[in-house]
Amino acid sequence: MRGPHNIWRLIRTGATFERTGALKVILDATDAPRSMKIALRSLVWPFQWLGIKGDQSRPPVTRAITALGPAYIKFGQILSTRPDVVGQELSDQLQVLQDKLPPFSREQAIEMIEADLGRNIDDVFSEFSEPVAAASIAQVHKAVKRETGEAVAVKVLRPGIERAFRKDVDAFYLAAWFIQRFLPSSRRLRPQDVVAHFEGVVLGELDLRLESSSAAEFHANTINDAGFYVPKVDWALSSRRVMTLEWLEGITASNLSEISAAGHDRKKLGSVVLQMFLSHALRDGFFHADMHQGNLKIMPNGDVAALDFGIMGVLDVYTRRVYAEIIFGFIRKDYQRIAEVHFEAGYVPANQDVDQFARALRAVGEPIFGMDATQISMGRVMSYLLEVTERFGMATRTELILLQRTMVVVEGVARSLDPKINIWEVSQPVVESYIKESIGPKALARDLGRTAIVLSRFGPKLPALAESILMAQSQGAEPAQQMSSARQAMFLVFGGGVCAAIGAIVAIVVS
């Protein structure tokens, strides 16, 4: 499908970007070469009359994207998490992209629910409202379950959205191919990889079973988090195109006047939002990666409730420990240790100078720590840090980019609730607690025990494995090679036995 029939779609897209002024903004933000700017604008200028005008009250980029429809809106949202690709300024513009669209009819939603669940709507719900929220991919209705009287939120995909997205993604691939083929200077931005990343994210969001799974995992992880709540998934009423969640009453986090009028402690709420994000990222390695005000509600009991689980971030155990040590290093102003952590993790190439890197980090941290405590931004620190590491040859790590991007959003939410919040004071207990549990002596013993236990499971196979190594290596091998194979076999048997013994001892001690 990525063929010539998509050319018309690309012409209309380019015409819209030129007509709204968005094309110039994007080319400037991405530092496109002058030749690329001239070539692209010359190509689309004659067709700009075919472009959509859009809402002239919006900035050029968001005006063009919202005019082009759901796939472009979602593409813009995802690109907002990749300042390494589009640049910080454009990323900030895309971050505030609104994806509110006209809802589709209640009757169409009912038709999709009945088809997907295989049940009559009246047998399932005693009440089913008009749309209460509509976005680029789906919309939400409030309903009441007939059997229990429980209020639920029913999320339904837009009719035909899968087919529409496939068509637009095909056009994106064609555009990326043209750009990469005829503008070699653009290859550093990896256009086709960017489109592939977008396609993977969207395919996940177009299957609401995956979002239901994310919501369920997030709920299980946070069930004991005081002051934070994630709605329960109703699996019996969820499917590929329908997701049913517990309905939560509350005030949207952006409505500060209502939050204050309801008597909620905004200072406490700001701390909860920040500490919960850090806790989920460090403790669980699974965090809400789209925690803007629209996806947060303040419940009547004062808890912060999270909604919309289409974009979630994942961090492995090692990355979490590195991230925690970096934050803790900045809290303690230990720039040498921050530098060493980057080298130990392999983020910065070994041929760089660790002392010079530490001095560069000091230049990042000291000016910020000279500011008033209420103006210190952890998101800014992480953003500057990524700039420094890039200068020292650090390769792009998308998981850290997403983490840093979400950190900026969460900071914004926390500061809107409590303008005087001290980000570092609020963060320090969470980070210190994680480091104590995950990097100290107890954690070392636990890790050693787990490693040894895993190795010990292969104990029964070690003799046969050693024998196969000796047989394979000794057939036709030189005497020196045979001796090496024998040493390998002895190491396997002896090492396996030692690991089994250590595993057993450490497991008993730690337990």
> pLDDT at position 510, please?
46
Q: In angstroms, rounded to a whole number, what is the distance separating the alpha carbons of residues 95 and 379? A: 14
Q: Are residues 196 and 240 in the same domain?
A: no
Tens digits of per-residue pLDDT, 282-337? 899 999 988 888 899 999 999 999 999 988 888 888 888 888 888 778 777 888 98
Question: Which residues constitute the domain of residue 237?
Answer: 105-157+207-247
Provide the CA 387 distance to its chain's centre, in angstroms.
19
Q: Tokens 């991007």 correspond to what residue?
A: 405
Claim to verify: residue 285 and residue 394 sit in the same structural domain: yes
Alpha-carbon span 273 to 79, nearest angstrom: 24
pLDDT digit string, tens, across residues 387-408 = 676 677 766 566 666 777 788 7
Distance CA 489, CA 473 (A): 11
- Of residues 315 and 412, the one with the higher pLDDT is 315
Q: pTM surpassing 0.85?
A: no
| Residue type (1 letter), 82 | R
Q: How far apart are CA 137 and CA 104, in angstroms?
A: 11
> Does residue 298 sit in the same domain as residue 372?
yes
Verify that 119 and 182 share a domain, yes or no: no
The answer on pLDDT for 507 being more than 50 is no
Domain boundary residue, one of 403, 418, 439? 439
* Same structural domain, 81 and 111: no
Residues 41 and 190 in one domain: yes
User: Are 267 and 294 members of one domain?
Assistant: yes
Angle between helices 60-68 and 88-95 (to 10 degrees): 50
CA angle 143, 147, 153 (to 5 degrees): 20
Are 111 and 238 part of one and the same domain?
A: yes
What CA–CA distance (Å, rounded) separates 170 from 178? 13
Q: How far is CA 423 from CA 241, 256, 270, 333, 420, in A?
A: 40, 20, 10, 15, 9
Comparing CA positions, the residue from 256, 277, 275, 291 lying closest to residue 409 is 291
Q: Are residues 181 and 50 in the same domain?
A: yes
CA distance 52 to 49: 8
Domain count, the chain: 4
pLDDT tens per residue, range 482-494: 445 555 554 455 4
My answer on whether 135 and 64 are in the same domain is no
- β-pairing, 242-246 vs 286-288, is unpaired
Is pLDDT of 355 > 50? Answer: yes
Residue after which a domain boundary falls, among 439, 459, 479:
439
The predicted-structure confidence for 418-431, as pLDDT tens digits, reads as follows 988 887 788 888 88
Supply the CATH number for residue 221's domain.
3.30.200.20
Q: Do the Cβ atoms of 437 and 297 come closer than 8 Å?
A: no
The SS3 of residue 344 is helix
Active site residue 290: yes
- Residue ending a domain, among 418, 439, 460, is 439
pLDDT of residue 218: 97
Helix intervals (H) in 119-190: 121-124, 161-182
Contact 296, 413 (CB under 8 A): yes
pLDDT tens digit string along 225-264? Answer: 999 999 999 999 999 999 999 999 999 998 999 999 999 9
The catalytically annotated residue of 290, 303, 308, 418 is 290
pLDDT in tens, 443-481: 666 666 666 666 666 666 666 766 676 666 666 555 445
Are residues 421 and 286 both part of a single domain?
yes
Are 54 and 93 within one domain? yes
User: Which of the pair, 484 or 341, is modelled with greater confidence?
Assistant: 341
Residue 270, both tokens: 């700001």
pLDDT at 483 (0 to 100): 46
